[in-house]
């Protein structure tokens, strides 16, 4: 009778030990996946900021953005001016992006829905030498 009890206790101990090891492994794998996701988001954000800074510092691009009429805002890059100047094309090929121009302070969202993770960055384009007409330029990107 005593031998039977010791056997069950060892089975329970082994089962608990397996649960502890499996739990530790699952936590380690989950942590690794979280780190990879953070790295991707950081990399995409840095690339977006680089593109937006380039647009922000280009006088011709600023003039084009400021020249968009208030009545059609918010608008995507309908003239394809920004896209044709290869600003977005400097981003990696695994990213698909769209640019949107909105009034400064207005809610600026994508028109189309996608079930992928969307990374968004924006910059204010407020004025040039001749006019003050604040706009928000927003760049939405997602991994293909």
Question: pLDDT tens digit string along 2-47?
Answer: 556 777 888 889 999 999 999 988 887 777 666 566 678 888 888 8
Model-level pTM?
0.66
Q: Is 90 a residue whose pLDDT tops 80? A: no
Q: For residue 103, what pLDDT is reported?
A: 86
Helix (H, G, I), strand (E, B) or coil at 104: coil
Where residue 137 falls among pLDDT bands split at 50, 70, 90? confident
Helix (H, G, I), strand (E, B) or coil at 11: helix
Domain segments of the chain as ranges: 2-143
Q: For residue 80, what pLDDT is reported?
A: 61
Total residues found in the chain within this entry: 144
Helical axes 59-66 vs 2-57, angle rounded to 10°: 90
Q: For residue 41, what pLDDT is reported?
A: 82
């Amino acid at each position: 009778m005593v031998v039977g009890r010791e056997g069950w206790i060892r089975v329970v101990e082994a089962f608990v030990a397996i649960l502890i090891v499996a739990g530790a492994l699952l936590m380690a794998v989950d942590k690794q996946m979280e780190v990879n996701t953070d790295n991707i988001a950081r990399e995409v954000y840095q690339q977006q900021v680089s593109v937006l800074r380039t647009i922000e510092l280009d006088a011709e691009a600023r003039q084009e953005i400021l020249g968009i009429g208030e009545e059609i805002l918010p608008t995507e890059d309908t003239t394809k001016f920004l896209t044709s100047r290869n600003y977005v094309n400097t981003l990696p090929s695994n990213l698909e992006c769209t640019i949107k121009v909105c009034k400064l302070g207005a809610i600026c969202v994508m028109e189309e829905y996608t079930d992928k993770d969307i990374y968004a960055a924006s910059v204010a384009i407020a004025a040039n030498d001749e006019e003050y007409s604040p706009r928000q330029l927003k760049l939405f990107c997602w991994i293909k």
